[in-house]
């Protein structure tokens, strides 16, 4: 138990994440915590203990569980095995895989049916947590290796003045060549991201080959994972560029999350190429159509809300209620500034998303209509034809024909 405690202290100190150890009856053995967690979150965590235990008992001893609850709090669970049984469970968390902002917190409050007074205490607690992002898998792998293997006390050696004569010499011509390559790449990157910042999709697509590089060597033996990592980085850079172009953070968060899932789900290089092109297109379209710098507060809030929740059953009244403005005033200002009505804008957003899903080819037309927020198949087909001048089935057929030509 002393060795297990030493390992847990190492985890706590290295990652600044709470660590709890409990036995097979869910009795806490020890808990390394900062003790600032709201009780409602403690109770939510207790409800996942049995699921974690069952999952670890079915898996081999080198496995770890990753779980995110309804409060968007993430945890690792690693089993400490004794004679093929899970004697103790090491629970590491909570931590975050998403950045905290107002939209993130309001979604948690809404999804868990909490009072609005929870906003400030949740914000304070969430901002004290560690954000791991896409590195969580690597951290989980590290935890398994730490728990499974014997703990070794390391030796600390302080190095002060390193003798520069011991360093290998870099040939001047190598430095010049590599330095020039790096400089050219960063200049290409700057130009490419400027196109996204200004919503210039055509030039962004032209500049893409010049911007991209071959970094597959970074994950030897697994080129698909290397390419996914590169595409994750691109997603982040595109989001930052679009933010500079005036797109609201809440909307960008939704786009970024959507593509992060599609990148991770990709099973081939060609699929990642498609995702890359779609990211460029959507971030440029966001700058072109949804940058909200020039809009009044009521229209800006309405645009952000629609862009986030267009696939839910929303209308002018529900939007007005959510953003705190009069329905008639909202409808008038929206039409005046955006040049189309609120409902037409919602329809356009839904059809744009439906077109993307049709081109992915994974869902039926019926499922797509439901997923983008239409209450019935017939209504979806009616609106699709009004917006695109063809039915959804005809559009799907035209894309298949293009693929075969």
pLDDT for 359 equals: 82
pLDDT for 391 equals: 93
Band (pLDDT 50/70/90 cuts) for residue 12 is confident
Band (pLDDT 50/70/90 cuts) for residue 35 is low
Question: For residue 151, is pLDDT > 70?
Answer: no
Q: What is the average pLDDT score of the chain?
A: 81
Tell me the mean pLDDT in the region 280-288: 86
Helix (H) or strand (E) holding 342: helix 342-360
Candidate from 31-35, 193-197, 388-392 with smallest mean pLDDT: 31-35
Q: Does some domain include residue 164?
A: no
Q: Does some domain include residue 121?
A: yes
pLDDT for 162 equals: 53
pLDDT for 160 equals: 55
Unique residue bearing structure tokens 């899970």: 86
pLDDT tens digits along 87-139 = 788 888 899 988 888 888 998 998 888 888 888 889 888 988 888 877 777 88
DSSP letters along 130-170, please? Answer: PB-GGGHHHHHHHHHHHHHSPP------------GGGSPPP
Return the bridge partners of 103, or none: none
Q: Does some domain include residue 281?
A: yes
Q: Does some domain include residue 402?
A: no
pLDDT for 117 equals: 85
| 62-66, 196-200, 279-283, range with greatest mean pLDDT | 279-283
Per DSSP, the three-state class of 78 is strand
Contacts of 264 (CB under 8 A, 6+ apart): 228
Q: Does some domain include residue 169?
A: no
pLDDT tens digits along 367-403 = 999 999 998 999 999 999 999 999 999 998 887 777 6
Q: How much of the chain is in helix, strand and coil states, percent to nearest 5?
A: 65, 10, 25
Question: For residue 283, is pLDDT > 50?
Answer: yes
Token pair of 145, please?
Answer: 């290796």
Q: Whole domain around residue 99: which residue ranges?
A: 2-148
pLDDT for 346 equals: 94
Q: How many domains does the chain have?
A: 2
In this predicted model, which residue has the larger pLDDT, 28 or 346? 346
Residues 205 and 314 both lie in one domain: yes
Q: Which of 345, 351, 352, 353 is nearest to 315 (CA)?
A: 345
In this predicted model, which residue has the larger pLDDT, 156 or 225? 225
Residues 209 and 330 both lie in one domain: yes
Residues 139 and 212 both lie in one domain: no
Band (pLDDT 50/70/90 cuts) for residue 250 is low
Residues 40 and 97 both lie in one domain: yes
Query: For the domain that residue 32 is a member of, what is the CATH number?
Result: 3.30.450.240
């Amino acid at each position: 138990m002393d060795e297990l405690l030493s390992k847990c202290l190492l985890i706590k100190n290295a990652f600044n994440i709470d660590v709890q150890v409990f036995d097979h009856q869910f009795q806490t053995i020890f808990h390394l915590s900062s003790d600032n967690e709201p009780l409602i979150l403690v109770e939510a965590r207790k409800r996942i203990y049995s699921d974690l235990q069952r999952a670890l008992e079915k898996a081999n001893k080198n496995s770890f569980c990753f779980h995110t609850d309804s409060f968007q709090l993430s945890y690792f669970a690693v089993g400490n095995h004794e004679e093929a049984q899970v004697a103790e469970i090491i629970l590491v968390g909570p931590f975050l895989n998403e950045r905290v902002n107002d939209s993130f917190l309001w979604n948690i409050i809404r999804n868990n049916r909490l009072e609005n007074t929870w906003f400030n205490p949740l914000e304070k607690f969430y901002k004290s947590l560690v954000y791991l992002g896409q590195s969580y898998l690597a951290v989980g792998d590290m935890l398994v290796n730490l728990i499974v293997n014997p703990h070794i006390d390391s030796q600390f050696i302080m190095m002060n003045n390193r003798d520069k004569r011991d360093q290998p010499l870099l040939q001047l011509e190598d430095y010049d060549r590599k330095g020039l390559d790096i400089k050219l790449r960063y200049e290409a990157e700057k130009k490419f991201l400027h196109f996204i910042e200004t919503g210039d999709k055509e030039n962004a697509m032209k500049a893409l080959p010049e911007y991209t590089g071959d970094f597959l060597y970074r994950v030897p033996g697994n080129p698909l994972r290397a390419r996914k990592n590169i595409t994750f980085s691109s997603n982040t850079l595109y989001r930052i560029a679009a933010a500079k172009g005036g797109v609201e953070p809440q909307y960008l968060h939704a786009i970024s999350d959507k593509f992060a899932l599609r990148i991770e789900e990709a099973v081939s290089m060609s699929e990642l190429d498609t995702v890359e092109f779609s990211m460029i297109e959507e971030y440029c379209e966001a700058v072109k159509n949804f940058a909200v710098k020039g809009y009044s507060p009521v229209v800006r809030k309405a645009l952000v809300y629609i862009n986030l929740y267009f696939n839910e059953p929303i209308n002018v009244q529900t939007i007005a209620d959510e953003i705190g403005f009069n329905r008639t005033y909202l409808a008038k200002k929206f039409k005046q500034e955006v040049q189309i009505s609120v409902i037409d804008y919602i329809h356009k957003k839904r059809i744009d998303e439906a077109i993307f899903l049709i081109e992915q080819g994974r869902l039926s037309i019926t499922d797509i209509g439901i997923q983008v927020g239409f209450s019935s198949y017939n209504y979806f087909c009616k609106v699709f034809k009004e917006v695109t001048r063809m039915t959804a089935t005809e559009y799907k057929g035209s894309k298949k024909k293009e693929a075969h030509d």
